């Protein structure tokens, strides 16, 4: 079994991130779903969709929700998921390295996947400049 991954972002970021990860990994990873928020969508509907997707992803090992912007609607929905489900964790600030770490280590336990994803997200942010 493995941890499911839910990409919950503003549209079109989740789909773009999954396409990039799929290209890098050589195929679409299993146990990954996307939910893209459109600005006018009622929060109750987004939360209901997120719950349905998270329930489908949870094969017993939990779900990691990766969202884009802390404090925005997708992150608030992710927080609501965490409050109603003991096997859901959420991280804001998703980037490609964070997603790749989560996907590559999804076979670990949920807390370890969270740690790997955080590490990937932080380590993937670098200044691209020649040394002085």
Output the DSSP codes for the chain: ---EEEEEEETTHHHHHHHHHHHHHTSPPSSEEEEEE-TTS-HHHHHHHHHHHHHHH-SSS-EEEEESSTTSHHHHHHHHHHHH-TTEEEEES--HHHHHHHHHTTTS-HHHHHHHHHHHHHHT----S---
**132 within a domain of the structure (yes/no):** no
What the block records as the tokens of 11 is 């549209």
**131 within a domain of the structure (yes/no):** no
**17 within a domain of the structure (yes/no):** yes
User: For residue 132, what pLDDT is reported?
Assistant: 78
**29 within a domain of the structure (yes/no):** yes
Q: How many domains does the chain have?
A: 1
**129 within a domain of the structure (yes/no):** no
**81 within a domain of the structure (yes/no):** yes
Q: The domain that contains 72 carries what CATH number?
A: 3.40.50.510
**Euclidean distance between CA atoms 36 and 106, whole angstroms:** 22
**12 within a domain of the structure (yes/no):** yes
Q: How far apart are the first and last CA of the chain?
A: 47
Residue 115 belongs to domain spanning? 4-122
Binned average pLDDT, 10 residues per bin, the chain of 132 residues: 94 98 96 95 95 97 97 96 96 98 98 98 94 80
**19 within a domain of the structure (yes/no):** yes
3-state secondary structure 10-43: ECCHHHHHHHHHHHHHCCCCCCEEEEEECCCCCH
Phi, psi of 36, rounded to the nearest 5 degrees: -105, 130
pTM of the model as a whole: 0.95
């Amino acid at each position: 079994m493995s941890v499911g991954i839910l990409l919950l972002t503003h549209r079109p970021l989740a789909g773009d991130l999954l396409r990039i990860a799929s290209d890098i990994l050589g195929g679409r990873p299993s146990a990954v779903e996307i939910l893209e928020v459109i600005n006018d969508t009622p929060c109750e509907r987004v939360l209901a969709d997120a719950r349905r997707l998270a329930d489908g992803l949870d094969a017993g090992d939990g779900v990691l929700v990766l969202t884009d912007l802390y404090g925005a609607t997708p992150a608030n929905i992710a927080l609501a998921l965490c409050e109603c489900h003991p096997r859901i964790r959420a991280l804001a600030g998703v980037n490609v390295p964070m997603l790749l770490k989560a996907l590559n280590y999804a076979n670990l336990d949920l807390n370890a996947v969270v740690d790997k994803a955080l590490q990937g997200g932080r380590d993937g942010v670098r200044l691209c400049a020649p040394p002085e």
